[in-house]
Structure 1
């Protein structure tokens, strides 16, 4: 049985849990990180020397880095379905996963930290504004893509949708007004209705 280490309040753990549920493989999960601790223990540092979550254990294999774990789960347990086998299709999904991690996530980080993790009296409005501006620019790109395709990487749900949707879950959960993006909203609602996304896209941010 798979073992996932990490708290569900982490966006990166949510990606992995959703992927495991999507491919239909049984798993156990142990809370770790933030108030749960664990990550700085000698035992955990042998699993991930970065002292971060998530970590996946699948038999003798131990993996860290959330998008890599999503790729692994989809490649091992859903090849040809969630993990495209033709190279052009595969790397189209790969680039959107990388885009989530290297562009969309950093853009929205300050808005999330300020509005969710920072007391009201200590918030910095300029950081929130900059974060919102950067995120809205990227959401316009995503909305245009979803205006042409049912899912992030094309006509079918794939591993690319998981990290991007987890990022949008965090964005939609921020207590602030946001611009409408009708294609994103259509796509996101479709994903919320997937059985495998339950317990992930319906979580309240913390």
Structure 2
């Protein structure tokens, strides 16, 4: 039995759901976090002492941290597809998963919270502007990397596209000014055509 705890409005939960859907793995998703609460309950803290989502349970095995979950799924069930067999390509997937977690998603966080989850009268434009500037730097890195490439690593879809794609989904749907980047946009549209995206990436909320 595989269970995933977390609300689908979380970009971190989206990555785990996307991985599960791409691999065709059976799972039950249980709402937690945000308005759903649960993450401070003792039984949840016993699963994840950080009180964050997502958490995956699989036959008594418990795993938290979204990219750890994505790596586990991709290595265990997607070797040769979501996770490359070539060690250098696998290292590049790891590189982009770390970049998404340490650079891209943190860059977009304030702009997302201010424009999506904060009432207009309480928004801080300076905070939004700083976040947009940092996000544009990350988008420029993606644009340069994706020129002439169909996907993040090699010539096929991998876990790197899931991690970066979930972050790009958030960035590209924020109501903020941004530079149009054709290679990034074309890559994102390729990702949107995948059936798993319809489940994993809902409108921002």
Q: Shorter-chain TM-score: which interval?
A: over 0.9
Tell me the SS of whatever aligns to 1:56. strand
Partner of 1:49: 49
d(CA) in 1 for partners of 2:152, 2:108: 19
Q: Tell me, in whole angstroms, the C-alpha distance in 1 between the residues paired with 2:154 and 2:147.
A: 11
Report the equivalent of 2:109: 109
* 2:198 is the counterpart of 1:205: no
Q: Secondary structure at the match of 1:162?
A: helix
Q: How does 1:142-181 map to 2 (within 5 A)?
A: 142-181=142-181
Task: Summarize the alignment of residues 41-190 of structure 1 with structure 2, pairs less than 5 Å apart.
Answer: 41-190=41-190
Spell out structure 1 runs of 4+ moving beyond 6 A.
none
Cα offset, 1:101, TM superposition: 0.4
Residues paired across the two proteins, number:
205
Matched residues in 1 for 2:176 and 2:107: separation? 16
TM-score, normalised by the number of residues in structure 2: 0.97
Secondary structure, aligned partner of 2:19? helix
| Cα RMSD (Å) | 1.0
Note if contact 2:110-2:128 (Cα within 8 Å) is conserved in structure 1: yes
Gaps of 5+ in 1: none
- Secondary structure of 1:62's counterpart equals strand
How many Å apart are 1:117 and its aligned residue?
Answer: 1.2
Shift in Å at residue 85 of structure 1?
A: 2.0
C-alpha displacement at 1:179, in angstroms? 1.2
- Structure 2, gaps ≥5 residues long: none
Q: What is the TM-score with the length of structure 1 in the denominator?
A: 0.97
